[in-house]
Amino acid sequence: MESTKKRVGRPKSETRTGPLVLDEPRSRQKTEIELTTATASEFAEYAAWVEMSSSLNTADAKSKTVEFALRDLFRRDRLWREQQSAAAPRSPAAAPAPASVAARPAAPPSPSLPPPTPREPRTNS
């Protein structure tokens, strides 16, 4: 008799056989940065591993490594994503301009509350 039970949980991912940085080809732009000695050393070791694990030359291995690391950082930084989505310009058709508070219609009074009393206008004295 065959089992009809559905397996629970996330399916197992494929076993990796090489560096994650070899995912996507991209055009490049030169940017120079300074790194701490420890980070530069680890970066050199990792880039050498990428180079040995692929047919990339040293420059391409370094470029792919930095590109991947930065993309991953930007993708995982929740606060950065929130700031980016808040700063994204909105098209006029997608989101109407916010109405001022005075232009908004008043909410209907709750049936369980007494009717509002008229207020006198405030004067600055």
Residue-wise pLDDT for 41-63, tens only, equals: 999 999 999 999 988 899 989 98
- Report pLDDT for 73: 92
Judging by beta carbons within 10 Å of its beta carbon (0-12, 13-18, 19+), is residue 60 exposed, middle or buried? middle
Neighbours of 95 (CB within 10 A): 9
* pLDDT tens per residue, range 15-41: 777 666 666 666 778 889 999 999 999
Give 64 or 99, the one with higher predicted confidence.
Answer: 64
